[in-house]
Amino acid sequence: MIKTLFSYFRPHIRIFALDMFCAIMVAAVDLAFPLVSRKAMYDLLPEKQYRIFFVLMIFVAVFYLLRSLCYYIMTYWGHTFGIRVEADIREALFIHMQELDFEFYDRNRTGKLMNRLTGDLFEITELAHHGPEDLLISILTIAGALVCMFVIEWRLAIVVAVLIPIFLIIVMKNRRDMSGASVNVKRTMADINSEIESRISGIRTSKAFANEDVDQERFEESNDVFKGAKKDYYRAMGRFNASQEFFMCIMPVCVIAFGGWLIMKGELNYIDLITFTLFVSAFINPIRKMSNFAEIFTNGTAGLKRFMEVMAVKPKVREKPDAREMVVCEGSIELKNVSFAYNTGNGGRNVKSQGQDIGDMSGEVLHEISISVKGGETAAFVGQSGGGKTTLCQLIPRFYDVTDGAILIDGMDVRDATKASLRRSVGIVQQDVFIFADTILENIRYGRPGATYEEVIRAAKMAEIYDDIMEMPDQFNTYVGERGTRLSGGQKQRISIARIILKDPKILILDEATSALDTITEEKIQGAFDRLREGRTTLVIAHRLSTIRDADRIFVIEGGRVAEEGTHKELIEKGGEYAKLHESSFRE
């Protein structure tokens, strides 16, 4: 873990070196003062060299001024170093999360992932900045002071040397206790963040059902678990601090007691005893830094461990080393004996995420499906919910990889293409449209970030959302709220259509894109969909069969298999599953 952390130091090694140099200077000044005091008491004052004495005191004052400057540098540039390391780690984590598959997000809650991008990384930053700095100052000061003590009076130095290992043993034991408690706190905090994120996201549903009391009760349960975890952590911290304070107080007592005994025997003088007490006083700050380091190390390594857990997750949908750019011309799609099962590498075992069992997701969803769609055709998929329609369409842009068989676009296996070029060629409009908390302009432009303002306007007109936008207070600069709460369902859907128009993909997937809309709004949007489908290969997952009557071919998916295939007319005449679905839809 430490090797991984240091790898993020390299781009900022100059700032790190400056921070370490200042730490060395601080330790040197702290060690020099007892020696200077001893020299003054032994030679300068008895020999009445007052001028040299005051010049020396001025030099000491100047060095303490430099020491203060070093602390300023360590505070400012040290924190700057920590922030830059944190930013680099966060960027690496975010980039890695972008590379992970849908399956990873199926198994991990947003709140927990947010906690890893924020709280955990803050702890890592504190370790990156304060850890090496505090450790270096402590080691240099304590080691240097012990050497000086042994030179002055080895018997008194042995007393201190015996106490320090005892102190360190107790510190390490308590640190292990704190480490376990810290990991538990972080895990609990991630659960609470997930709970908060879920409750805030569903606040409208909560109010609609008047279930605020229920949500409050669930939150309080999570909060009570958090308080219990914190209680264990602070209990370990209390033992740590109590033992630390005891040793910091008992050390000068032992030195003075033993030193007093040596003075009584005439084997030590007052000057050396005073020098020893100054060195013991010099221990206090390093010992505090070591205790601070123990806490920082505990929290930081816990955060670093959780960071590395995510970084260790490898995407299952991987790009081949020799993957080629996909250039879609016709847009023909062919599925050859395609089968798919979730978590096939899990051997059918229950999946665990962050120590929590999330159930068995290893069942096969699709079974040896073979479908061929010509370029420019519209193919519709219908059937009961859970039949595998959406999963089938998600395999085309490789959100998941097939278990068996192959998917070809213009004769090229999608696994041989780069993921970016494949997904640029496929546009998806889903039932649950995600709208960013931004302006309408930026939400439409998300389809092609480099699009001009004129191109956005043209896309809005084609999606029949332009007039609605112009009636809004700030028109295209209107802020739409979290997840587009200030927009109607139809407006959000038409913004998503404008997005796809800007993207201009050769293959279009409409995943129950109008099933959540009322009939009037659906009819209004249908014209936009018809224009969007022109010249594109279109796959439509439909709930309302009235929207797919003009499809070139219709596939009925039942139990992960193609139960029927044909045109609307052919399937009605056949009197099979499609006819039953159509009859049921007509009754509705």
- Establish whether domains 322-353+360-425+505-588 and 435-504 are of one fold: yes
Three-state DSSP state, 550: coil
Q: What is the pLDDT at residue 62?
A: 92
Amino acid at 383: G
Residue 585, pLDDT score:
62
Q: Which two tokens stand for residue 2?
A: 């430490």
Q: Could you state, in order of their start, the residue ranges of all structural domains in the chain? A: 2-312, 322-353+360-425+505-588, 435-504
Q: Residue 345: what pLDDT?
A: 44
Residues 510, 427: contact at Cβ < 8 Å? no
What pLDDT was estimated at residue 209? Answer: 60
Question: According to the model, what pLDDT value does residue 363 have?
Answer: 63
Q: Are 523 and 494 in contact (CB under 8 A)?
A: no
The reported pLDDT for the residue numbered 65 is 93
pLDDT at residue number 354? 34
CATH architecture of 322-353+360-425+505-588: 3-Layer(aba) Sandwich (3.40)
Residue (of 3, 5, 542) closest to 300 by Cα position: 5
Separation of alpha carbons 482 and 100, rounded Å: 25
Tokens 């020893």 — which residue?
276
Place of tokens 């070029």: 421
Among 197, 219, 223, CA closest to 211:
219
| Residue pair 71/26 in contact by the 8 Å Cβ criterion | yes
What's the CATH superfamily of 2-312?
Answer: ABC transporter type 1, transmembrane domain (1.20.1560.10)
DSSP for 95-151, please give it.
Answer: HHHHHS-HHHHHHS-HHHHHHHHTHHHHHHHHHHHHHHHHHHHHHHHHHHHHHHHHH
Predicted pLDDT at 478:
86
Alpha carbon 481 to its chain centroid, in Å, reads 23
43 with 35: CB under 8 angstroms?
no
CATH tag, 435-504: 3.40.50.300
Return the ∠ at Cα 204 (arms to 97 and 499), rounded to 5°. 50
Mean pLDDT by 10 residues, the chain (588 residues): 81 90 89 84 81 87 91 88 85 82 72 69 78 84 85 84 79 72 72 70 64 74 74 78 78 85 86 83 75 75 80 80 85 87 50 34 73 87 79 85 87 86 84 79 84 87 83 84 74 83 85 65 70 82 74 84 83 80 63
CA distances to 93, 104, 120, 227, 238 from 232, rounded to whole Å, are 30, 31, 19, 9, 10
H/E segment holding residue 246: helix 212-264
548 Cβ neighbours under 8 A, 6+ residues apart = 378, 380, 382, 540, 542, 554, 568
What per-residue confidence (pLDDT) applies to 211? 66
Rounded Cα gap, residues 432 and 493, in angstroms: 9
Q: Which residue, among 517, 434, 443, has the nearest Cα to 483 in the 3D structure?
A: 434
